[in-house]
Structure 1
Amino acid sequence: MSVTAQISTVHGAPPLIYTLTLSTSRIQEVNSPGVTMTLNVSNTVSGSFYGFSWNVTDPSGSIRSFVYYVAANGPFLTLAVVYPRDFSGALVKYNGTYRINIFQTYPNPTALVATGRFYTGLTDSLSYQRTAQVFILAQGYASNENITMRILHAGIPASGFPISQLADGNGVFSYLWPIPVSTPLGDINVSLSGQVTVKKPPDSQIFTILPTSVSISQLVANLTLLQGSRIAAFSFAAVYPDGSQAKTGTTTIRVLEPDGITIHLVSMTYNTTVNAFEGTYRIASSDPSGGWAAIIDANSFDDVYGNVGPSTGVVRGFVVEPAASQNPQTSTVTYLLLMIVVLLAVALTFLVSWVLFFARKKVQRSVLKVDLQSIEREAARVQNRDFFGKVRDQLKQRQQAKPEEGAKDG
């Protein structure tokens, strides 16, 4: 804050120009670091003395003063004081407006040359997004005094309130409140009341709760085969600024075909088993192959409490192969069946070869047996047993030689 005023101090001399600057416009109920008030005075006369009285009125109406006398070393004079450090008996223990009045007491008769104000509150900010933490701080209570804190929205207590907590040994109360994602939006009142201490004005303040953001860093797309159909499965995690995950709400993603025009909508819902939002799209056999894309549009996700995201769109590409090449499992099964057929064919061929081999040997023995019987009949008929006896012996020898030749061939 800056306030400028002009006052003439010496007849014929340029008027003094006063500018008041504050280090901050708002603090919590705490003494340190306080508020630095800087007064710049222009057109001062070197060697002349100047006197100023700084008066600060707190919200209870109590006034604390600080008197400053200084000699100028040139045309500019800079004076700085800190509230409450430089003001005897001053404390920042009330919630509200602190008013500053600066009077020049010398050399002129007392004159108001600068004014200003700063505010003191219970919270470290006047507005918060959900999931942020509200730091509440107050002082001026008795040592270890029991303090009751209430947080209300439209007269209705926030979840978990009111609470009671002791001040520390110096009468300072502090509390950190993480704002739930479902906390009602708008103005919230926080108030403190001591079991013994009664403050006037009481510790009470309004602050505002705003929606928070939801980020979605990655969209996952997987192609699977289910009961002969191609399924595109999508999933993502929605995260709040404090790192916790959104578990409520829905969104619809756009699935874009390779032509860049045809769009399919997929509803995403939360799956408690995998802690993620999931949705699927069944790819028809008539759908085109090539590069597809899944898109989450900016601010299309809403967690049902008014917290939305992502701030920018999220895109994930995936490739759909032609239907004939989609089932690597079917190709594998076909290959295995082909191998089994080939092996069976080989085994059958081997078996038939062995059967034919043994069958041929059996036929040969039968033919030889028939030839011997015919010779016997012919020998009996012509009565020349000696001649046919020799022939029979030669044939028996030849018959005995056949198995040996077969064994060598095998």
Structure 2
Amino acid sequence: MDSRFVDDAAGYLGWALMKPYVILLVLVLLPITVFVVQVHGIAPYSLTISPTTTSLGNTVNILVTVTNGNRNTFYTVTISVQKPNGTGSAITNQAVSTDNRGSGSVSVQYSSTSTSWTPLNGTVATNVGGVYNVAVNQTSPTNIANVATGQFTVTAMMSVVVSQPASGTIVQRGQTLTITATVANSLGAVAGATVTVDTPSNGQLTLPEVSSTNGVYSITYQVLMNDPLGSWTIIVRARDTSQNSGVSLPANATIAKSDLFVDAMVTYNSKGVPTTSFSTGDTVFPYFRIKYSGSSGTFLTAGQYVVSVKNPSGTTVANLTAVYDANRLGFYTPTGYSVSTFDPGGSWTVGINANSLNDGFGNTGPNFDTSVRVDVVTSPLGYLPFVIGGVVALLGGIVVLKRYDTSLEGFEHLEQMIGGPIPRGSSLLLLGDPGSGKTVLSYELLHDELEAGRPCAFLSYDAFPEDVQGRMGEFGWDIISHLRKGRLKIIDCYSGLAGQGEGALRDPSDLTELNIQVTSFITKAKNAPVTLILDSLTPIFNGVEAKQAINFLQTVGAKVKKTGGLFILTASKGAIPDDSIAKIKSIADGVIELTLVRTGRKGVRYLTVLKMERRRIASETVSFEIARGRGLVFRVSRFGILRGKLQQLKLKPSHSSAKDAPKAAPPAKPEGKHTEEKDQGAASSGLPSKGTGTRPR
């Protein structure tokens, strides 16, 4: 057999055996070849967004990159941005050219100022908070969707951090407090923001920018003298022009009261010359300034304050009212104290008692008594005319006394005891035993003020308004016409206490609301002198702390006295702590004490004027009755006051032994008993009607 035939046969046989494998290999390689053809012209894309989180109104940079693509090829892409919640969408067409390595990129900014974008709906801006979706579509050499995707987030929050003051800082009224805050957003410090903080009185401060690089804002605030005491929660708020905003964590500061102290006290004589030496006939005019502690040169420039004049034995002989004098830039006592012949010589003191100052906003002082010493020089010869006159008067009085010593029936006697009408622009405390006649006396004073045409307000803590009308009507004091004319206002503080309706006050112990009503009444009076009567103090002290109640009385009293009116208040002995009563007595311009002495089934009422500013008061204690249709009726000797004065002259010690002399004894009981018998006789025969007209004052 030919060897060539054998080789051909073997070749055909080998091909026949290998043919299935070749066909199988072709079938496997065929899809790969097709895929490569389909992706001809596609390049790997990447998407970079910076920043991925930003604030409202800021610009976002979008970078599309081709890596390992066809070399020297021109690609076109469409970039789309979808705003949150369908609030807007926009597209931009961009070109990417690759280099010899098949790499290229294009960058575009997404902002309201960019002109590269075409809005499909809404606006092109980062003006909505939320997630923005970005997609890249290839449009040439072939159209392929979503070759790259990404997201960025827009937030409206800014960071506000308070660095000053530190939480827990205590600042006194009149002092300054620095408030500093740093404002930042996701990109860093924020410049040009509006940064504010609330004041303690709910006003608003704007913090100026002190560092635009670091986003620091700061202000120095001087705490006002009437800013509320206690905790001040400092919260700083920031906002930029794109309406990004932020709020700081609270920083708590405590506002403390400013102490008042007497900066300078000088005494002037009648010629206006400052001096500390006075003689008989001279007048002492104290002058002083009141300064706030913790402040730089801030002085009190309003109010009325009491200056006590004490003789060498330490007895207070006068309480003068000092008012602010703008010309003197301080407080001055226009009336002064006149040194009389009967005043002892020696070292006197003129001063202000501790804790007697209050500016009406809770700033009080001084912490200790502040006074100056003055020397009073008297001459014994000065007594001679008075001694001679006294002897003559005594002899004549003894003759007349037996024939004309008749009783004085009338409320006018109270003015004689006071030394004249109650001074305008003053406060009066009616202090007494339960049932001693405090309320009736306040009713009678109210009636006199109304008849004089003055606007009045009655704060009733012990009776319903209709009961007040009824009880005053029993004495012939009709107040209905005054209520209708608006001249009288009864503020019902009793209904809430009695649980029978809300009355004028939902909470009678809410002194803030009560203060508002009093202020409203004074405002409606249009600068006319007003009279405010509070009956009584007991429920107030039962409802709030004593310090708060006293501050309320001082504040309201100052407002009433500023109008030139009267502030009259009643208080029961034993119902209010002794230290509180002592404080009220010290701040009141006048104090009238009423007592009820019971003997078996009978009771005798007595009245004593303890003090009355700007008046020389009678030191006697007189008995009185409460008569229906009349009110208070006094039973006293016409010459009782004269006898008391003569007895004081008789018992008056010499200057050398003045300190060792005993104090004047109180009225003897037999005289009181005799008065009671006279009262009973008069009562049995009936009292003449007094009428309801205005009492001469």
The TM-score, its normalising length taken from structure 1, stands at 0.45
Larger-Rg structure:
1
Q: Which has the higher helix share?
A: 2
The TM-score, its normalising length taken from structure 2, stands at 0.27
Q: Which has the higher strand share?
A: 1
